[in-house]
């Protein structure tokens, strides 16, 4: 798992691009809810386009398993884990101690 998180996030971003084509019709309840979510995201993160907001929200929705895997992998040193939105969307894992993380060949 180790450094495959970045690959997973990149894959989720590519998959989320396909979700743009599957967006619900804007006049449906789901479409209206999506518009509210996108507007809220954009108001909290100025400079993010509508397409970027949709993609980031799609990625965010899919990260539950990744967060669980990170919690398991670093359970002995985990201080905090969060999804950061600036300057780009990324996962921040904060660990205790000074020992470096082992590198993976993946």
Measured CA to CA, the distance from residue 68 to residue 2 in angstroms comes to: 13
Domain ranges of the chain: 4-95
For 25-70, what is each residue's pLDDT tens digit?
767 887 888 899 999 999 999 989 999 999 999 988 889 999 999 9
Is 95 strand, coil or helix?
strand
Please report which helix (H) or strand (E) contains residue 78, including its range.
strand 78-84
Please report which helix (H) or strand (E) contains residue 79, including its range.
strand 78-84
pLDDT of the residue at 22 = 60
Output the six-digit token pair for 77.
């040193």
Residue 103 Cα to chain centre, angstroms: 22
Share of the chain above pLDDT 70, in %: 72
Query: What confidence category does residue 1 fall into, taking pLDDT thresholds of 50, 70 and 90?
Result: very low
């Amino acid at each position: 798992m180790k450094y495959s998180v970045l690959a997973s996030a990149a894959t989720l971003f590519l998959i989320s691009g396909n979700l743009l084509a599957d967006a619900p019709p804007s006049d449906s309840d789901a479409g209206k809810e999506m518009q509210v979510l996108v507007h809220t995201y954009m108001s909290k993160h100025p400079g993010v386009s509508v397409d970027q907001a949709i993609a980031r929200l799609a990625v965010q929705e899919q990260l539950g398993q990744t967060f669980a895997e990170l919690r398991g992998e670093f359970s002995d040193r985990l201080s905090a884990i969060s999804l950061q939105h600036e300057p780009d969307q990324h996962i921040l894992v904060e660990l205790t101690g000074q020992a470096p993380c082992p590198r993976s060949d993946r």
